[in-house]
Amino acid sequence: MYIHDLKDWPKFEWNQKVALDLLVSLRHQQGLLIGKMEALGFNHRKEAVLQNLTQDILKSSEIEGEILDKSLVRSSVARRLGIDIGGLENIDRNVEGVVEMILDATQNFNEPLSKERLFSWHASLFPTGRSGLSKILVGEWRKGPMQVVSGYIGKETVHFKAPSPQRVESEMTLFLDWFNSETSIDPILKAGLSHLWFVTIHPFEDGNGRIARAIADLMLARSEKSSQRFYSLSAQIQKERKTYYSILEKTQKGDLEVTPWIEWFLRCLEKSINGANNALNGVLHKAQFWESIAEAPLNGRQKKIINRMLDGLDGKLTSSKWAKMTKCSQDTAYRDILELLNLGILTKNSEGGRSTSYSLTQTIMKWKG
C-alpha cells in the first residue's frame, strides 16, 4: 500500500516544531543571501541569475540521467533574459524546451498553475513526442499504469506504483486547487509538500521529476516574491540524488506523517542557499576580471572564449579548440590567442609542442592600454 491508497490521502501531517525550527534558520539564510545579492550592481545580479538558472536546468536534467550542453543552456537562458554574453550559440530544441519550462516557472511565478500550463511544460520537455526511442503521450495526462522500477528486465525492483490513470484527472484537480489557494502554510514548506504530492500522482508518462522540481521552484519564487533566482535547489538534490530517491520511496510507502521528507527537503534547500555563496564569489571574480580589462581592444571571438573560460571551460584551451568553438581558421585562432598573450590576459601553460595550451592570467592589473 502506498500513501495515495490511504483513506485520508492527501491530508499530510508533520511535526510543526521540527518544521518551524528549520524554517527559521532557512529564512535567515535566505534573507542574508538576498541581501548580499541586492547589494550588487544590476549587471552582477543578472550574471548571478544567469549562472544559477543555468545550473538549475543542467542539474534537474542530470538527476534524470540526461546530460545537457552547458554552453547551449547558458546561451538559451541569456537570450531569453536579454543578457549579452557575446556570440550566442545555435540552440537545440530539446534544450530550448527545458529552458522554457524553468523560466516560465520562475519568471511568471504569480500566474496560477493550471492543467494547460502543465501540459505546455510537458510538451516543451518532449518536443519530438518521444522520450529517448519511445513514443509517449505529450501534453496530456497518462492513460496507462505507472510504476518506478530499476534493475534488469525480469529482475526489476518496483520502488513505487502511482495511482491508476482513472484517478489522475481528479487527483490533479485537487492538487492544483490546493496549490493555487491561499493557505496558512509557509510557501517554502508548501514547495516541499507540492513536490512530494505531484510526484506521488505521477500524472505524465515521463518528465514528472523535472516538472515537480519546476513546481517547487515556482513556489520558492513566490516565497521570495522575486523572479531572480540566486540559488539552485536542483543542484543540491543532484548531489544527494541517492538520498533523494530513497526518502521519496520511504515516504510514499509510509503513512501521511511526512516529517522525515519535510526535514530532508528543508535541509537540502538550506544547503543550496549556503552553497550559493560560492557561486556569488565566482560572479564577483568574473565581474572584477571584466572590469580590469574593460578598455582592452577585444573582438567577439576573444570575448566569447574568455567568458567560457571564466565559466569553467571543459579541458584545456588550445588553438584547435579555439578554432572549433569560434568557427574560425587555425591561423585566426592563433592570432587571437597571440593578441591575448601580448595583452597579458592569457598565459601559456608549461607544456609545449602540439600540446600547447593556455590559461587566463590569475591576477591581472587594470588594463591601461
pLDDT digits (tens, 9 = 90+) for 265-298: 999 999 999 888 766 777 777 777 888 888 889 9
- 112, pLDDT greater than 90: yes
- Are residues 322 and 182 both part of a single domain? no
The residue-averaged pLDDT of 158-175 equals 97
The residue-averaged pLDDT of 75-89 equals 78
Within a domain: residue 250? yes
Within a domain: residue 369? no
Within a domain: residue 332? yes
Q: Tell me, what's the pLDDT at 34?
A: 83
CATH of the domain at 329: 1.10.10.10
Nearest to 287, CA basis, from 74, 90, 25, 43? 43
Q: Tell me, what's the pLDDT at 194?
A: 98
Q: Tell me, what's the pLDDT at 94?
A: 81
The residue-averaged pLDDT of 129-136 equals 89
- Are residues 242 and 164 both part of a single domain? yes
pLDDT band at 186 (very low <50, low <70, confident <90, very high): very high
- Are residues 352 and 249 both part of a single domain? no
Cα 123 from Cα 120, distance rounded (Å): 5
Contact 35, 199 (CB under 8 A): no
Within a domain: residue 367? no
Cα 80 from Cα 103, distance rounded (Å): 8
Min mean pLDDT across 84-98, 254-268, 321-335 is at 84-98
What is the amino acid identity at position 111?
E
pLDDT above 70: percentage of residues in the chain: 95
CATH of the domain at 47: 1.10.3290.10
- Are residues 250 and 318 both part of a single domain? no
Within a domain: residue 365? no
- Are residues 116 and 263 both part of a single domain? yes
pLDDT digits (tens, 9 = 90+) for 3-16: 999 999 999 999 99
Cα 250 from Cα 200, distance rounded (Å): 12
- 313, pLDDT greater than 70: yes
Report the alpha-carbon angle 142-56-31, nearest 5. Answer: 120
pLDDT digits (tens, 9 = 90+) for 215-228: 999 999 999 998 88
- 21, pLDDT greater than 70: yes
- Are residues 130 and 277 both part of a single domain? yes
- Are residues 229 and 196 both part of a single domain? yes
Q: How many domains does the chain have?
A: 2
Q: Tell me, what's the pLDDT at 295?
A: 86
- Are residues 22 and 53 both part of a single domain? yes
Cα 225 from Cα 106, distance rounded (Å): 10
pLDDT band at 154 (very low <50, low <70, confident <90, very high): confident
- Are residues 346 and 237 both part of a single domain? no
Cα 277 from Cα 32, distance rounded (Å): 10
pLDDT band at 184 (very low <50, low <70, confident <90, very high): very high
The residue-averaged pLDDT of 97-107 equals 94
- Top-confidence residue, 167 or 43: 167
- Are residues 125 and 83 both part of a single domain? yes
Q: Tell me, what's the pLDDT at 279?
A: 66
pLDDT digits (tens, 9 = 90+) for 46-69: 888 888 899 999 999 999 989 998
Total number of residues shown for the chain: 369
Within a domain: residue 366? no
End position of a domain, from candidates 227, 262, 285: 285
What is the amino acid identity at position 166?
Q
- Are residues 340 and 278 both part of a single domain? no
End position of a domain, from candidates 255, 285, 315: 285
Q: Tell me, what's the pLDDT at 41?
A: 75
pLDDT band at 86 (very low <50, low <70, confident <90, very high): low
- 84, pLDDT greater than 90: no
Print the domain residue range for 347.
Answer: 294-360
pLDDT band at 368 (very low <50, low <70, confident <90, very high): very low
- Are residues 166 and 220 both part of a single domain? yes
End position of a domain, from candidates 264, 285, 306: 285
